[in-house]
Amino acid sequence: MMDKKSLLWAGFCLIITMVIAGCVSPSTPSPVQTPLPTTVIQTVLPATSEATTITVLTTRVTPKPPETVIEKEILHDAGVLTTKTYKTYDFKDMGFKFIYPGDKFRITIKAEKPVLGYALNTEQATGLQGAQLIPHYESYSKKVQWGLIDPSFVLEKATDSTGEFIYGDYIEYRYDDGKYIAMNKTKGEVHPLTYVVDGRWMSYDPVYENVQTFNYEITITKTGDPPSNPSISEAEHLKEYNFIF
């Protein structure tokens, strides 16, 4: 049986042993805390492409079909003349109150004796009854002496003659088959026109002094219109050409 002293010694040794054992035993390292992965949220902004939008206005040019020329006979008449008479035909009675630059006509005159065919301002045509407005020839010239008459659509000494005319085309004389047959002396002003078949020039030529009466025939055909402009009314058209009523 151990005495008290021995127990104390044994206890002391036990404590020393435990202390030494604690120092010698490797210490368990503290667990290493694994860092949590850092999630970087990268905001990707959508690439904005500032594209410039160009609006292209395309004008579609539709080719204009060629205009179909529809010819229309507007006058056909026959009559009798002498070397001292003439006959007038107002274009207004044919459906054309005014004649515009670009209006096209074909005029044919057939006569047993040579006559003059011509157009002039309708107002001036009223003065043909006097002795002042008689177109005729003089010995010094082959051309008609018109005096105060301002003619267009002229057929000279017509017995079987046809002329194609565009109102406003300035043609002094046209020489054909050895003689002057056509003239268009107007400058293209808008006018009411009257056509004349005139036999009076023969009264100035002694060759025809025994001629009594003779027959004639005239045909006028509308062959074309002036360039159309639907935005211009007839009144504006007249104003454009400085026509005074």
Q: What is the pLDDT of residues 122-159, one digit of tens each?
A: 999 999 988 889 999 998 888 899 988 988 899 999 99
**Whole-number Å distance between alpha carbons of 109 and 154:** 11
How far, CA to CA in Å, does 60 sit from each of 63, 64, 128, 228? 9, 12, 55, 21
- Over residues 188-206, the pLDDT tens digits come to 578 899 999 999 999 999 9
Alpha-carbon distance 69 to 67, whole Å? 6
- Cβ neighbours of residue 113 under 8 Å, at least 6 residues apart? 81, 83, 159, 199, 202, 208, 211, 214
Over the chain, what is the mean pLDDT? 76
Using left for φ > 0, alpha for ψ between -120 and 50, and beta otherwise, residue 178 falls in left
Does residue 165 surpass a pLDDT of 60? Answer: yes
What pLDDT is attached to residue 15? 72
Higher local confidence (pLDDT), 148 or 75: 75
Q: For residue 135, how many other CB atoms are within 10 A of its CB?
A: 22
| Predicted TM-score of the model (pTM) | 0.63
Question: Which residues does 181 contact at the CB level (< 8 Å), separation at least 6?
Answer: 155, 156, 157, 158, 161, 163, 174, 175
pLDDT digits (tens, 9 = 90+) for 174-187: 555 655 555 555 55
Cα dihedral 84→186→106→158 (10° resolution):
30
Locate the DSSP E strands across the chain.
72-81, 86-90, 104-121, 152-166, 171-176, 179-184, 193-198, 214-224
Structure tokens given for 238 = 């007249």
Q: Quick one: pLDDT band at residue 236, thresholds 50, 70, 90?
A: very low
Integer Rg of the chain from CA = 57
